[in-house]
Chain A
Amino acid sequence: MADVAAMPARRRGRGNTAALPGWVGKAARLIVSIAVTLFGLMALTFFIGRMLPLDPVAAILGDNATQEAYEAMQRQLGLDQPLYIQFAHYVYDIARLDFGTALTTGKPVLDDIGRVFPATIELATVGILIGTGLGIPLGVLAAAYRDTAIDYFVRVFGLLGYSTPNFWLGLMGLVLFYATLGWVEGPGRIDTAYQWDIEPVTDLLLLDTAMAGQWDIFRNAFGHIILPASILGFGAMAYISRMTRSFMLEQLAQEYVIAARVKGLSWGRTVWVHAFRNVAVQVVTVVALAYAFLLEGAVLTETVFAWPGFGRYLTNALLGGDMNAVVGCTLVVGIIFVGLNLLSDLLYRVFDPRTR
Chain B
Amino acid sequence: MTDRCDRRWRLTLTLLAGAALAGPAQAATPRNALVMAWNIDAISTFDPAQIGEVVTSELIQNTCDALASFDPKDEARVVPALAERWEVAEDGRQITFHLRDKLVFPSGNPGTAQDLAWSMQRVVKLGFGNAATLTEYGFSKANVEQMISAPDERTLVMKLDKPYPTNLILQAIAANRVATMQDRKTLMANEVNGDLGNKYLATHTACVGPYRLRQWNSGESVVLEANENHWAGAPKLRRVIIRHVAEAGTQRLLLEKGDVDVARDLTPEDMQAIEKMPGITLARTLKPQLVYWGFNNAHPAFAQEKVRLAMRYLIDYEALGKTVMAYNGVPRASFVQLGAFGALDAKEGQPFSLDLARARQLLSEAGYPDGFEAGMIFSTLPYAAPIAQHIQANAAKVGVRLKLEQMANAQLFARHRGREFETVIAAWQTSIPDAQGNASRLIANPDNRAEAKLTQFPSWRHSFQSESANRIAAEALLERDEEKRAALYHQLQRDMMQSGPTAIMFQTVHLAGVRTSLKNWTWHGFGSYYDMAYKE
Q: Do chains A and B touch in the complex (CB under 8 A)?
A: yes
B interface secondary structure, majority: loop
B413 touches A63 (CB 8 A): yes
Partner of B44, one of A63, A70, A105: A105
Residues of the B chain whose Cβ atoms lie less than 8 Å from the Cβ of A102: 218
**Interface membership of A157, Cβ < 8 A:** no
Beta-carbon contacts of A231-262 to B below 8 Å, as 1s and 0s?
00000000000000000000000000000000
Query: B411 to A104, Cβ gap below 8 A?
Result: no
Q: Is the CB of A179 within 8 A of B21?
A: yes
Residues of B within 8 A of A68 (CB): 127
Which B residue's beta carbon lies closest to that of A52?
B411
The residue from B15, B245, B453 contacting A187, defined by CB atoms under 8 A apart: B245
Chain A residues whose CB sits within 8 angstroms of the CB of B278 once the complex forms:
none
Cβ of B142 < 8 Å from any Cβ of A?
no
Give the residue name and chain of the B residue nearest to A320 (CB).
B41
Q: In A278-328, which residues have CB < 8 Å from any B CB?
A: 303-304, 306, 308, 312-313, 316, 318-322
Task: Bin the interface of chain A by size.
Answer: 35 or more
8 Å CB contact of A115 from B10, B15, B217: B217
Let me know if B410 and A59 touch, CB within 8 A.
yes
Given A62-B129, A64-B52, A106:B260 Cβ within 8 A: no
A318 to B219, CA, bound (A): 13
Distance to closest chain A CB from B139 (angstroms): 14
Q: Once bound together, how far apart are the Cα atoms of A67 and B131, in whole Å? A: 12
Give the A-B pair count, Cβ closer than 8 A: 166
Answer whether A53 and B411 are a contact pair too, CB < 8 Å, given A180-B20, A193-B30: yes
Mask for B112-138, Cβ within 8 A of A = 1, else 0?
Answer: 000000000000000111111000000
Within the complex, the shortest CB–CB distance from A109 to chain B, in Å, comes to 11
With the chains together, A66 CA to B52 CA distance in Å?
A: 13
Does A165 make an interface contact (CB < 8 A)?
Answer: no
- Please indicate the chain A residues that have their CB under 8 angstroms from the CB of B17 in the complex: none
B408 in the interface, Cβ–Cβ < 8 Å? yes
The answer, among B20, B220, B417, for a CB contact under 8 Å with A179, is: B20
B115 to chain A, nearest CB (A): 23
Complex contacts, A228 vs chain B, CB 8 Å: none
CB-CB under 8 A from B21, the residues of chain A are 179-180
Is A69 at the interface (CB under 8 A from chain B)? yes
A120 to B132, CA, bound (A): 42
A58 is an interface residue with CB less than 8 A from chain B: yes
Number of interface residues of B (CB under 8 A): 63
Knowing A61-B128, A106-B45, A192-B241 are in contact, say whether A66-B456 is a contact too (CB < 8 A): yes
For B215, the closest partner residue in chain A by CB is A196
Of A174, A186, A192, the most chain B CB neighbours within 10 A belong to A192
Contacts of B129 in A (CB 8 A): 61-66, 69
Q: Which residues of A contact B43 (CB under 8 A)?
A: 104
- Whether B11 sits at the interface, judged by CB under 8 Å, is yes
Contact B45 A182 (CB under 8 A): no
**Residue A188 at the B interface, CB < 8 A?**
yes
A-contact 0/1 string along B196-228, CB 8 Å cutoff: 000100110000000000000111110000000
Of the A-B pairs whose beta carbons lie under 8 Å apart in the complex, a sample of 21, sorted by A's number, is A62-B128, A62-B413, A63-B129, A63-B413, A66-B456, A104-B44, A104-B218, A105-B218, A105-B219, A107-B202, A178-B253, A179-B23, A181-B23, A186-B250, A186-B254, A187-B247, A187-B250, A306-B244, A306-B245, A308-B217, A316-B219
Given contacts A104-B44, A175-B20, A180-B10, 17 further A-B contacts (CB under 8 A): A55-B413, A58-B410, A58-B414, A62-B53, A62-B413, A63-B129, A63-B417, A66-B454, A72-B127, A107-B218, A180-B20, A186-B250, A187-B247, A187-B254, A191-B27, A303-B246, A306-B250
Sort A-B residue pairs by CB-CB distance and give the 8 closest, nearest first. A321-B410, A182-B23, A64-B129, A105-B218, A55-B414, A67-B453, A106-B202, A62-B52
Chain B residues near A (Cβ < 8 Å):
10-11, 14-15, 20-25, 27-30, 35, 41-45, 50-53, 127-132, 199, 202-203, 217-221, 241, 243-247, 249-250, 253-254, 257, 259-260, 380, 408-411, 413-414, 417, 453-456
